Each structure stands twice: as C-alpha cells, then as structure tokens.
Structure 1
Amino acid sequence: MSLLKERLHDIEKNGYQLDFGNVFNHAFENYKKIALYAGLVLFVFSVLFGLFAIGTLISFWGIDLITEKLNPENLKSENLSGSSFLIYSSAILVVSCLLAPFQAGFLKMADCGDKDEEFHISTLFSYYQLPYLKEIIVSTFLITSISFLQAITLSHLKLDLLGNFISNFISFLTILTIPLIIFGNLNAIEAIKYSIAIVLKKPFVLLGLIIVAIIGAMVGFIGCCIGVFFTLPFFYSMNYAIYSAIVGIDSQDKIEETNFVL
C-alpha cells in the first residue's frame, strides 16, 4: 500500500487536525507568488475563449438567433424544448470537461510557487496528458452530470433554491477530487470517494475556509471588474493549501508513476 493510501485510510479512521489560521496564511502566501502571472493568463485566456465561443456561435446561428437563445428567460429549464435542453446540457458538460484540466493547471502552478520552482504558461496545460486527462474528465463528467440532473429535476418541481443548494453542496464535498487525482495519482472514483470522506470529517472548518476563499476571489469585482482575474487565483491557492494541510504534497514525490490506479 502506498504512503498516500495509508494516509487516506488513517484519515477515514482517525480524522485529521486542521488549523484555520495556518491554512489561510499558507494560501495567502502562496497566492502572492502566483497572483500576477495567473491573473494575466486568466484574463488573456478568458478573452480568447470568449471571442472563440462568440465567433463559433455566430457562424452557426447568426447574431439575432444567438441574442434570442441567450436570453436568460429562454435559458430556464422549463422554457427549453427537448432538443434545446439536450444541446444546452451537452454544451455545459463538454465545456466543463474540456476546461477542467486547465483549471487543474492552476493547482500545479500553486505547487510550483509553494516550492519556489519556475512556472510558465505550459504549466497550465500539464494535465492535458494521460493518465491525468482521462481521470480529470471522468470525475468532472460524473460530478457535473449529477449536479446538473438534480438541479434540473428540482427546477421542474419549482424547488430552484433547493437545487442550487444541493449543487453547491456537491461542489463542496468534491472540492478535493482534482488535487487527489493530480497530486495523489488516484482514479476518478477513488478521488471522489476520498474527497467526500475528507470533507465530512471537518465540514465546518473547511466550509469556513472555502467561504473565505470565495470572498477573497470575488473582491476583484469591487471597483473594476477586471480585478477578479487577479483575485480568482486565491481560490486555487486555498484549494492547494487545504489539500497540502490534510493529505500532504510530500507523498506525491514518493509515489512512482507505475503505481497510478487505472
């Protein structure tokens, strides 16, 4: 059994210690190392991705049809036809799965910053390769599908608030899934399982840290909205700091690639 698996089994059995202040300080110090570079990359990528998406939609439907389809009222689940609903849900799943490895790259950047190692744009694309790519996509597909299906079901029952709450709760429970895949070399199912087990051991402390991370990430909306690109990396730094405090990054260096669970 690998050191990581031993650590995870110990967490399941005995729990773990987590100091709010230490994790926050770790996240903030890490954020200061990656904020500028990560923010610039996020800004450039968002602009390019937005232009690409708009250009693609215009080429397929035209401006008038896009304006009509993207009307918030028309995007409500109860107003979508069968074909429109299928296209809408499929688009969300595809985009989520394609961007998940890119988002995982920010955790890799946080790891490099923590170890005072150089990082580049290529760092953000580190996980568009096997075996990580498959496991990241599978885990993202499963989590997004479950969250999306329950939200749609409850929306049809006029329980939108409950659906939103459950979606956020699912995201909270699975917050450590991607770190467990990229730093722990776990497969998608195991990563989801252990993420849920870890979060449920100390849900209130972790919830407090996540809320602080979200508030910190959203501070950029104050004054000039462009600032959010430079505050959003704080969320990734917090995610990294939480994983580091609970599971530990050191185990990654001691796990051979041949031990990856397929």
Structure 2
Amino acid sequence: MENVNEKIAAIQEHGYEIDFGTIFNKAIENYKKIALIAGLTFILFSIIIVALFIGVFTAFWGFSTITENMSQLEPKNFSGTTVLIYTLSISIFAGITAPFSAGILKMAYKASKNEEFSVSTAFDYYKSDFLKDLFIATTIVSIFSLGISTVLESSGIRFIGALLSYAISFFNFLTIPLIIFGKIPAFEAIKGSFTIVSKQVFVLLALLIVSAIMACLGLIGFCIGIFFTFPFMYSMYFIIYNEIIGIDEKSELEAFLE
C-alpha cells in the first residue's frame, strides 16, 4: 500500500476531493456502533481525572485554598510566570490524555471492521509504542494553542485568542490519527495534518462544526447525555481520516496483534 508520507506529498501537490454527505452518513453509522461503550468509557475516564485533579490539588494547596481562589483562575489575572506555568501544566495534561483519545479512535476503527472492542480498548495506547509520539505531538500543539490564547486573553484580546486557538486545533485534528493509523512520528504528523486540512478547509470545517453541534445535543435535558453524544466527534475524525488517507489493513492488524 502507498506510504502515508507519499500520500501526504501527493495531497500537497494535487489536493483531494471529499463528499460531505458520504462522510457524514458513514460517521453516523460508525457512531451507532460505539456510542454506548464509548459513552461509558468517557464517564469512567472523567471520574478518574476529576478524582486525580482533586487529590493532587488538595495535597499541594488544600481544598479550602482551591475553592477560595477559583475566581482568580482567569488568564487576565495571571502574571507572566503564572501564564507559563498554567500553559505548560494544561499542555502536559493534554499530552497525558492523548492516548485515551487515540483509544476512542481505535474503537471507531474496530467498529468499522465489525470487530469486538470494550472499555479497555480506550486505554490500549498507554502501553503501546505510539505513547511517546502521542504525548509529544499533543503537548506541542496544546502549548501553541493554549499559549497564544492565554497570552492574548491576559492582554484583554479574548476573542482573537480563542479564534487562533480553535484554528490551531482545527488544523491539527488529524495529528493523532496520523500517528496511530499512519504510523508516522509526532512532528511529521503535525505537519501532515496541517497539509491535509489546508486542502479542504471549508468542507472539513463544516463537518466538524456539524459534529460538534450533534455532540452538544447531549447537554439537552440531563447533561450526562454529553458523554454519549461526544463520541460522535471521534467517529467523524476516524471517517475523515479513513476517507482521505485510508488504513493499511495488514499492518494495522499486525500493530494491534495481541
């Protein structure tokens, strides 16, 4: 099968065509297969993260100190040093959670092949060879995205900061799929994602906006529904990647051989 880097090079030179309706319909079908298990997985992961967050901050600063100073945790109140610490901390946290996102994408992949998967599938990449690249790529993207956003917000330019942050995240949404499915290193994945997205900005942006709206439908009524609608975003990411780049089935099965 054609090398992923060769495909990206071809895309850079010739571009590519995608159909909004085809991708959307395939994402819906994929989502139906992962919604329940992925939703339960998000609930479990959220409980773990919240427990760790409370435990760490309580151990270092005490619970009363945290609650008293929550109102001050806004970029506009940060000093230069605090902005740096805040940006690095959140970015490292994003890097730590990246393998989980990769695991949800693996669920979507397995669902597309009608293969079995479970809650534990979401944590597979914490013990894989892709762990380093997932952490590096996500941390770097987060540093740029959050760093720019925080600096501009602390300067009173909140809208521009948020816009640039969303733009960086948008152009890098294929970074994780390129690492785990395309098996390319962190920096190449970041560059590749930018190249791919830049060739079909409007169609891809429309797809992600629609998928974000559908994901937010879970907030209607009982907010817990967001855990079960949010996985639609991952189905969309997977289908977009699969439609544009595709997956080397043989090497993919070998990589996940248990």
Equivalent in the alignment of 2:47: 47
Equivalent in the alignment of 1:181: 179
Specify the SS of the correspondent of 2:126: coil
| One-letter amino acid of the counterpart of residue 59, structure 2 | S
Using the size of structure 2 for normalisation, the TM-score is 0.92
Q: CA RMSD in A?
A: 2.0
User: How do residues 150-229 of structure 1 correspond to structure 2 at under 5 angstroms?
Assistant: 150-229=148-227
Compared with structure 1, are the counterparts of its residues 83 and 162 closer, same or farther at alpha carbon in structure 2 (3 Å cutoff)?
Answer: closer
Note the residue ranges of structure 1 that are not aligned, 5 or more in a row.
Answer: none
1:119-161 deviations in Å (ceiling 9; x for gaps): 1222112212343111111111110111122122322432110
Task: Say which of 213, 228, 231 aligns to 1:230.
Answer: 228
Task: Say which of 135, 138, 144 aligns to 1:146.
Answer: 144
| One-letter amino acid of the counterpart of residue 253, structure 1 | K
Pairing 1:76–2:74 present:
yes
| One-letter amino acid of the counterpart of residue 35, structure 2 | A
Specify the SS of the correspondent of 1:126: helix
Specify the SS of the correspondent of 1:70: helix
Specify the SS of the correspondent of 2:125: coil
Q: CA deviation at 1:222?
A: 0.4
Q: Which moved more, 1:179-188 or 1:115-124?
A: 115-124
State how many pairs are aligned. 255
Task: Say which of 245, 250, 253 aligns to 2:250.
Answer: 253
Pairing 1:91–2:89 present:
yes
Q: CA deviation at 1:105?
A: 0.5
**Residue identity (%):** 45
Matches of 2:88 and 2:181, distance apart in 1: 29
Note the residue ranges of structure 2 that are not aligned, 5 or more in a row.
Answer: none
Compared with structure 1, are the counterparts of its residues 202 and 85 closer, same or farther at alpha carbon in structure 2 (3 Å cutoff)?
Answer: closer
Compared with structure 1, are the counterparts of its residues 252 and 6 closer, same or farther at alpha carbon in structure 2 (3 Å cutoff)?
Answer: farther
Compared with structure 1, are the counterparts of its residues 151 and 136 closer, same or farther at alpha carbon in structure 2 (3 Å cutoff)?
Answer: same
Specify the SS of the correspondent of 1:127: helix
Equivalent in the alignment of 2:7: 7
Equivalent in the alignment of 1:30: 30
Asked if 1 retains the 8 angstrom alpha-carbon contact of 2:105 and 2:234, the reply is yes
Q: CA deviation at 1:227?
A: 0.3
1:135-190 deviations in Å (ceiling 9; x for gaps): 11111111011112212232243211001000000000001000000000011111
Asked if 1 retains the 8 angstrom alpha-carbon contact of 2:83 and 2:150, the reply is no
Matches of 1:68 and 1:85, distance apart in 2: 20
Q: CA deviation at 1:256?
A: 10
Q: CA deviation at 1:216?
A: 0.8
Matches of 2:128 and 2:44, distance apart in 1: 26
Equivalent in the alignment of 2:18: 18
Compared with structure 1, are the counterparts of its residues 35 and 255 closer, same or farther at alpha carbon in structure 2 (3 Å cutoff)?
Answer: closer
Q: CA deviation at 1:35?
A: 0.2
| One-letter amino acid of the counterpart of residue 22, structure 1 | T
Asked if 2 retains the 8 angstrom alpha-carbon contact of 1:183 and 1:252, the reply is no
